[in-house]
């Protein structure tokens, strides 16, 4: 993001810039401008270009000028527009602007502008995860028979960008189709053919459409989309939220909402300005409104700076975004749980308090403006304080009275201070930044003391946070004496869902080159809160975080531009995923899970969604039974949240039955011919839906594994019930939890009754190494080595059954829903199997190729409550030719409603193309198909492999109407697999699948 500089001001000039005022501004006007931006003002007056290293957001416009992303506190945005200053996002009390230095000066002169804030910099804070939170059950239709995968919902992510070519974000049927609706790269300047998203919100960055993204994927043309994710964070995050696992076969590491539509906003490569984040909220809201769909926005970003009370501009923007129906912002809690960066207390009137920082001996990073430590102090009122800073070599090196903001260069380093009353909450705040504006004077090693004298006339509470606490080329810690990790949440938005992290994977097997298996160092903390997860509550005492989700040991999508070596321990076999940790990973798990709720009810509010999630959280010995500052309300259980959304009266729930613990571990080898079992006793009646198993390594299976459910006799298995479930050995990952779907077993279990889950290899010569708990024994494990079942009293197998009751009473059970054409009329028919408190049905229609919202064309009164099958029909007459989407909005007597699935119908549209099915199919090595068009046009036919790579072009030519062409596909040089023949004309696109078997 940092533009190329034409010249750099000298150290003395920077000193002037940090002083009280720029030449053309009065002292009062100058102090309206954040001290981090004043270098830009001075450079503007002097007519030179200057580096402004403390500004969080800098963007080079198309005209070559530098612009600064700022937050302007004003109630008169029209005054800015009158001076041709473009306002990007507007909120109550502030706006965002991408301002030039001249515009900074112009705004400072306006009487209606209270303060110009440079903002803060935010930093980046699954099959197993989906199974742990209950999303896998929803994918399989375990609640009311409906599959919830995020259909009709947008997942919007603000992060480091995305690898748009990754197969986990493509249509699994046609890999040339992307699930991305838009990608907005805020860091780019438009070049030939590119455009900003001015229609949606903002006049900076570059927006890429779905069409442009798909052209990039299929190479027609390639090289237009310049957005990349070199950090890899954004690709991993959005994969956790909504990846579909299609990069591997069978699909693996599936995210929470694998059918959701996607939007990515790239705000930076590793640091992200709050002004850009605020604009991101405006952008996602505008796109969702245009599409007529609900949206969940994930922000796996955070900062330890700011008021921590929800009054900062970003929190206000997040709350505004989440205020309407069909909107929810989800934030990571932060990764400061291990860091003693917080302090708090009370300072009496006419008294003082001191804060001590110890800078160790360190090797400075070469150059200037890259070694620093920062302290952010907030008081409970706006009362006056005076701050004095002692450096290691100078007592009283800098003094900042009330309202004072300046930059003081010293031999011990540059001291920047800003002592002001915050425009957002009226509280006194002081920001200290000690840094190396001159490379020859980095922050000195030794003791730094900040003295605060209270001259307000009354006592004041205070909270302070040290951030940017690492210094030097070895990232040495600058400790805050007496610091703690309380109140360290990286955001405090009221309406947002704030997500902590717990450990769901302590070990895993890494790269396929050598198959290394690794884990975290130290005591195994599996199932416990992640030590790094930030701690609540907010400064104003609100109960945050809201929930905890899996976040330590998360495997998700790998960006090809990240450059991760296959030799890395984080690199997962298959080359499409990697493992990492952080609340950055738990947040998208919760965001994607929340998207499933919005599929069920697009009118859901953020408050409703948060309540459903927090009130249905799982609690246990780790989480405690009530809200606490580490776990929030407990572990995310989106399955029970969905049950309660669909039928609040339902007692449905889900249990993960874990009889093993992590105090002591060992392993056994389960060889072919041996069966092992865990006896389980559910606390609810329901279906056995899945199981977690934890193999050791190496896993060298050549055939499938089988799982069975047996009844109990005494404490041993008696006889099999339901169907055996066999699953591919390719799904079994060594040294890690694996979630296996068992819904095909068809077994319902009763509460309080013992059953056994039996596991064994089915291929001769195979061995499964299985982790066991040897510390706290529940005596529920048994084995059959060929002579009958025998108890295994010395250990517990790491096998955890999952039982769920998704029984719900649906207000309307829809048996049939179809849309038919009758001439130019559209005939819509539906049948209900039962109705409960049903007021009626709104019939809604929209053009299939339009981003406009649905419109209601008719309302049909329902039957109230009925157990009889009832037929409904409505005719829409004289419909214009075209393709349409039709859906029903079923309205209950209490005013709540839900939507039916969409139905696509075409009326009055002549067939543009005739495609004969490829023959033979399957084939080896040649197949062919015929194509004819109804009107003259240009036609291109390409063949793509399963990764979306174009392997051959079969034709690229003009075709006359009524002429048949034969397309021959010779796959002699290609490998066995699935291929897609896509035929695209001026007025149509069609795709056929063919299977090559050699």
Rounded percentage of the chain residues whose pLDDT exceeds 90: 58
Q: Give the pLDDT of residue 573.
A: 82
Q: Which of 114-118, 242-246, 419-423, 457-461 has the lowest mean pLDDT?
A: 114-118
Q: Give the pLDDT of residue 849.
A: 66
Structure tokens at 306: 């700011």
Same domain, 468 and 494: no
Q: Which CATH number fits the domain that encloses residue 447?
A: 2.60.120.1290
Cβ atoms < 10 Å from Cβ of 21: 18
Kindly tell me if the per-residue pLDDT of 411 is higher than 70. Answer: yes
Kindly tell me if the per-residue pLDDT of 54 is higher than 60. Answer: no
Task: For residues 659 and 459, give the distance between their C-alpha atoms in angstroms, rounded to a whole number.
Answer: 53
Kindly tell me if the per-residue pLDDT of 13 is higher than 70. Answer: no
What would the mean pLDDT of 173-192 be, rounded to a whole number? Answer: 92
Kindly tell me if the per-residue pLDDT of 23 is higher than 80. Answer: no
Same domain, 315 and 192: yes
What would the mean pLDDT of 681-690 be, rounded to a whole number? Answer: 94
Question: To which H or E segment does residue 128 belong?
Answer: helix 127-133
Q: Report the first-to-last Cα separation within the chain, whole angstroms.
A: 50
User: Which residue did the predictor score with more confidence, 296 or 956?
Assistant: 296
For residue 592, is it within any domain? yes
Q: Give the pLDDT of residue 807.
A: 79
Kindly tell me if the per-residue pLDDT of 612 is higher than 90. Answer: yes
Cis bond before residue 545 (omega within 30° of 0): yes
Tens digits of residue pLDDT in 765-795: 999 999 999 988 899 999 999 999 999 988 9
Q: Give the pLDDT of residue 3.
A: 30
Q: Give the pLDDT of residue 124.
A: 52
Q: Which CATH number fits the domain that encloses residue 50?
A: 3.30.70
Same domain, 354 and 437: yes
For residue 84, is it within any domain? yes
Task: For residues 622 and 86, give the distance between their C-alpha atoms in angstroms, rounded to a whole number.
Answer: 51
Same domain, 234 and 350: no
Task: For residues 602 and 148, give the distance between their C-alpha atoms in angstroms, rounded to a whole number.
Answer: 13
Q: Which CATH number fits the domain that encloses residue 871?
A: 2.60.40.10
Report residue 32's pLDDT band, with 50, 70 and 90 as the boundaries.
Answer: confident
What single string gives the DSSP state of each residue in 745-790? G--EE-TT-EEEEEEEE-STT-EEEEEEE-SS--S-EEEESSS-EE
β-strands 154-159, 261-266 pairing = parallel
Residue with tokens 């899970």: 593
Residue where a domain terminates, one of 648, 677, 701? 648
Same domain, 208 and 182: yes
Task: For residues 279 and 294, give the distance between their C-alpha atoms in angstroms, rounded to a whole number.
Answer: 18
Report residue 51's pLDDT band, with 50, 70 and 90 as the boundaries.
Answer: low
Q: Give the pLDDT of residue 355.
A: 98
Kindly tell me if the per-residue pLDDT of 126 is higher than 70. Answer: no
Report pTM: 0.79
CB-neighbour burial class of residue 585 (10 A; exposed 0-12, middle 13-18, buried 19+): buried
What single string gives the DSSP state of each residue in 182-227? EEEETT----TT----TTTT-SSSEEEEHHHHHHHHHTTT-S----
For residue 379, is it within any domain? yes
Same domain, 156 and 301: yes
Average pLDDT, the chain: 88
For residue 658, is it within any domain? no
Report residue 973's pLDDT band, with 50, 70 and 90 as the boundaries.
Answer: confident
Same domain, 169 and 315: yes
Question: Which of 804, 489, 796 lies closest to 632, judged by CA?
Answer: 489
Same domain, 414 and 473: yes
CB-neighbour burial class of residue 145 (10 A; exposed 0-12, middle 13-18, buried 19+): exposed
Kindly tell me if the per-residue pLDDT of 26 is higher than 50. Answer: yes
Q: Give the pLDDT of residue 512.
A: 47
Tens digits of residue pLDDT in 835-888: 888 999 999 998 876 667 788 999 999 999 988 889 999 999 988 888 788 999
Per-residue three-class SS string for 584-596: HHHHHHHHHHHHH
Q: Which CATH number fits the domain that encloses residue 562?
A: 3.40.50.200
Q: Give the pLDDT of residue 9.
A: 24
Tens digits of residue pLDDT in 902-922: 887 878 755 566 777 888 888
Report residue 987's pLDDT band, with 50, 70 and 90 as the boundaries.
Answer: low
Tens digits of residue pLDDT in 793-811: 889 999 999 999 987 777 7
What single string gives the DSSP state of each residue in 791-834? E-TT-EESEEEEEE------SEEEEEEEEEEETTEEEEEEEEEE
Question: To which H or E segment does residue 670 belong?
Answer: strand 665-671
Q: Are 101 and 46 in contact (CB under 8 A)?
A: no
**Helices of type H across 228-305:** 233-242, 274-291
Same domain, 949 and 886: no
User: Which residue did the predictor score with more confidence, 233 or 48?
Assistant: 233
Kindly tell me if the per-residue pLDDT of 122 is higher than 80. Answer: no
For residue 219, is it within any domain? yes
Q: Give the pLDDT of residue 283.
A: 97
Report residue 722's pLDDT band, with 50, 70 and 90 as the boundaries.
Answer: very high
Structure tokens at 304: 């330890």
For residue 269, is it within any domain? yes
Report residue 517's pLDDT band, with 50, 70 and 90 as the boundaries.
Answer: confident
Task: For residues 300 and 470, give the distance between their C-alpha atoms in angstroms, rounded to a whole number.
Answer: 21
Cβ atoms < 10 Å from Cβ of 683: 11
Cβ atoms < 10 Å from Cβ of 844: 21
Kindly tell me if the per-residue pLDDT of 483 is higher than 90. Answer: yes
Residue where a domain terminates, one of 755, 782, 804? 804
Kindly tell me if the per-residue pLDDT of 481 is higher than 90. Answer: yes
Q: Give the pLDDT of residue 17.
A: 31
Q: Give the pLDDT of residue 16.
A: 28
Contacts of 828 by beta carbon, 8 Å cutoff, 6+ apart: 818, 819, 820, 843, 873, 874, 875, 876, 886
Rounded percentage of the chain residues whose pLDDT exceeds 70: 92
Task: For residues 740 and 705, give the distance between their C-alpha atoms in angstroms, rounded to a whole number.
Answer: 11
User: What is the separation of C-alpha 355 from the centre of its chain, rounded to a whole number of angstroms?
Assistant: 37
Residue with tokens 């996602």: 284
β-strands 154-159, 295-299 pairing = parallel
Same domain, 491 and 585: yes
Tens digits of residue pLDDT in 82-115: 998 988 988 888 999 988 888 898 999 999 999 9
What would the mean pLDDT of 382-392 be, rounded to a whole number? Answer: 98
Q: Give the pLDDT of residue 982.
A: 82
Contacts of 92 by beta carbon, 8 Å cutoff, 6+ apart: 316, 320
Contacts of 679 by beta carbon, 8 Å cutoff, 6+ apart: 712, 715, 754, 755, 756, 780, 781, 782
Question: Mapping DSSP to helix (H, G, I), strand (E, B) and coil, where does residue 28 land?
Answer: helix
Kindly tell me if the per-residue pLDDT of 948 is higher than 70. Answer: no
Q: Are 650 and 644 in contact (CB under 8 A)?
A: yes
Task: For residues 94 and 97, give the distance between their C-alpha atoms in angstroms, rounded to a whole number.
Answer: 10
Residue where a domain terminates, one of 426, 450, 477? 477
Q: Give the pLDDT of residue 2.
A: 32
Structural domain that includes position 633: 141-339+486-648
Q: Give the pLDDT of residue 571.
A: 84
User: Which residue did the predictor score with more confidence, 410 or 651?
Assistant: 410
Kindly tell me if the per-residue pLDDT of 1 is higher than 50. Answer: no
Q: Give the pLDDT of residue 436.
A: 94
Q: Give the pLDDT of residue 851.
A: 62
Report residue 591's pLDDT band, with 50, 70 and 90 as the boundaries.
Answer: very high
Q: Give the pLDDT of residue 944.
A: 80
**How many Cα atoms are found within 13 Å in the side-chain-facing hemisphere of 232?**
19
Count of domains for the chain: 6
Question: Which of 304, 256, 283 lies closest to 200, judged by CA?
Answer: 283
- Please state, in angstroms and as integers, the Cα–Cα distance from residue 689 to each residue in 256, 316, 649, 659, following that order: 17, 41, 22, 18
Same domain, 441 and 501: no
What would the mean pLDDT of 140-148 be, rounded to a whole number? Answer: 85
Residue with tokens 């009326």: 907
For residue 657, is it within any domain? no
For residue 40, is it within any domain? yes
Same domain, 369 and 435: yes
What would the mean pLDDT of 344-360 be, rounded to a whole number? Answer: 97
Task: For residues 582 and 500, give the distance between their C-alpha atoms in angstroms, rounded to a whole number.
Answer: 9
Helices 313-321, 274-291: inter-axial angle, 10-degree rounding: 10
Q: Give the pLDDT of residue 422.
A: 94
């Amino acid at each position: 993001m940092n533009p190329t500089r034409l010249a750099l001001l000298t150290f003395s000039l920077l000193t002037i810039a940090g002083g009280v005022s720029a030449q053309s501004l009065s002292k009062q006007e100058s102090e309206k401008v954040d001290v981090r931006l004043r270098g830009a003002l001075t450079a503007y007056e002097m007519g030179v270009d200057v580096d402004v290293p403390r500004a969080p957001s800098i963007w080079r416009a198309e005209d070559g000028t530098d612009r600064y992303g700022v937050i302007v506190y004003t109630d008169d945005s029209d005054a800015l527009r009158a001076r041709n200053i473009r306002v990007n996002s507007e909120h109550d009390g502030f706006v965002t602007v991408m301002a030039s230095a001249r515009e900074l000066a112009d705004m400072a002169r306006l009487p209606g502008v209270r303060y110009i804030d440079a903002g803060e910099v935010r930093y980046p804070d699954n099959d197993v995860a989906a199974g742990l939170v209950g999303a896998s059950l929803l994918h399989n239709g375990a609640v009311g028979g409906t599959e919830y995968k995020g259909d009709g919902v947008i997942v919007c992510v603000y992060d480091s960008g995305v690898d748009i070519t990754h197969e986990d974000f493509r249509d699994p049927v046609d890999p040339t189709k992307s699930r991305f609706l838009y990608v907005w790269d805020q860091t780019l300047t438009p070049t030939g053919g590119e455009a900003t998203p001015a229609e949606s919100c903002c006049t900076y960055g570059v927006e890429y459409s779905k069409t442009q993204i798909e052209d990039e994927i299929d190479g027609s043309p390639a090289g237009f989309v310049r957005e990349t994710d070199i950090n890899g964070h954004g690709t991993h995050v959005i994969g956790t939220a909504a990846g579909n696992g299609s990069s591997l076969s069978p699909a693996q590491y599936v995210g929470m909402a694998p059918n959701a539509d996607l939007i990515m906003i790239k705000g930076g490569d590793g640091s992200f300005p709050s002004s850009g984040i605020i604009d991101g909220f405006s952008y996602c809201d505008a796109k969702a409104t245009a599409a007529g769909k609900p949206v969940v926005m994930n922000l796996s970003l955070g900062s330890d700076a700011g008021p921590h009370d929800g009054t900062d501009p970003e929190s206000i923007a997040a709350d505004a975004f989440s205020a309407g129906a069909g909107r929810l912002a989800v934030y990571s809690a932060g990764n400061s749980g291990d860091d003693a960066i917080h302090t708090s207390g009370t300072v009496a009137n006419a008294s003082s308090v001191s804060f001590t920082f110890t800078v160790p001996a360190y090797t400075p990073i070469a150059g200037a403006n890259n070694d620093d430590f920062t302290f952010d102090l907030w008081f409970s009122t706006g009362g006056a304080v005076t701050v004095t800073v002692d450096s290691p070599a100078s007592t009283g090196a800098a003094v900042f009275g009330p309202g004072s903001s300046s930059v003081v260069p010293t031999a011990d380093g540059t001291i920047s201070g800003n002592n002001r009353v915050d425009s957002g909450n009226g509280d006194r705040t002081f920001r200290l930044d000690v840094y190396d504006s001159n490379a020859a004077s980095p922050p000195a090693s030794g003791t730094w003391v900040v003295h605060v004298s209270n001259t307000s006339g009354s006592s004041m509470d205070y909270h302070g946070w040290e951030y940017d606490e690492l210094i030097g080329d070895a990232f040495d810690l600058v400790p805050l004496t007496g610091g703690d990790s309380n109140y360290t949440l990286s955001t405090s938005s009221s309406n947002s869902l704030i997500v902590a992290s717990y450990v769901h994977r302590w070990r895993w097997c890494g790269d396929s080159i050598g198959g290394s298996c690794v884990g975290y160092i130290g005591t195994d903390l599996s199932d416990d809160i992640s030590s790094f997860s930030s701690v609540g509550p907010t400064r104003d005492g609100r109960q945050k975080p809201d929930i905890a989700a899996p976040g330590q040991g998360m495997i998700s999508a790998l960006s090809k531009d990240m450059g991760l070596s296959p030799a890395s321990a984080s690199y997962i076999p298959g080359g499409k995923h990697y493992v990492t940790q952080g609340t950055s990973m738990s947040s998208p798990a919760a965001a994607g899970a929340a998207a499933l709720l919005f599929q069920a009810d697009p009118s859901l509010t953020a408050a409703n969604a948060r309540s459903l999630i927090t009130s249905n959280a799982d609690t246990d010995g780790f989480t405690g039974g009530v809200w606490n500052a580490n776990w929030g309300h407990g572990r995310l259980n989106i399955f029970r949240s969905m049950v309660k959304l669909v039928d609040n009266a339902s007692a449905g729930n889900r249990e993960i039955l874990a009889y093993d613990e992590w105090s002591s571990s060992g392993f056994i080898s389960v060889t072919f011919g041996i069966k092992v079992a865990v006896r389980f006793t559910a606390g609810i009646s329901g279906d056995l839906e899945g199981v977690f198993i934890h193999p050791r390594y190496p896993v060298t299976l050549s055939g499938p594994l089988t799982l069975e459910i047996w009844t109990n006799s005494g404490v041993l298995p008696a006889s099999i019930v339901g169907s055996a479930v066999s699953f591919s050995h390719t799904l079994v990952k060594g040294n890690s939890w694996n979630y296996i779907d068992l819904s095909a077993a068809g077994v319902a279990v009763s509460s309080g009754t013992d059953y056994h889950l039996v596991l064994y290899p089915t291929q001769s010569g195979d061995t499964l190494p299985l982790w066991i708990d040897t510390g706290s024994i529940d005596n529920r494990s048994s084995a059959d080595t060929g002579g009958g079942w025998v108890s295994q009293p010395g250990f517990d197998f790491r096998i955890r059954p999952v039982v769920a009751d998704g029984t719900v009473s649906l207000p309307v059970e829809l048996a049939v829903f179809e849309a038919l054409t009758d001439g130019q009329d559209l005939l819509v028919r539906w049948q209900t199997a039962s109705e409960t408190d049903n007021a009626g049905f709104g019939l809604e229609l929209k053009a299939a190729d339009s981003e406009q919202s649905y419109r209601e064309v008719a309302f049909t009164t329902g039957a109230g409550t009925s157990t009889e099958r009832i037929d409904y029909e409505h005719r829409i007459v004289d419909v214009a030719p075209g393709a349409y989407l039709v859906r029903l909005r079923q309205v209950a007597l209490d005013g709540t409603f839900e939507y039916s699935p969409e139905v696509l119908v075409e009326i009055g549209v002549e067939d543009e193309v005739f495609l004969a099915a490829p023959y033979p199919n399957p084939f080896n090595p040649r197949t062919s198909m015929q194509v004819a068009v109804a009107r003259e046009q240009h036609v291109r036919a390409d063949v793509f492999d399963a990764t979306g790579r174009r392997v051959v072009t079969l034709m690229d030519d003009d075709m006359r109407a009524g002429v048949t062409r034969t397309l021959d596909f010779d796959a002699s040089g290609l490998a066995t697999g699935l291929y897609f023949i896509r035929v695209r004309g001026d007025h149509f696109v069609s795709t056929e699948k063919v299977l090559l078997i050699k």
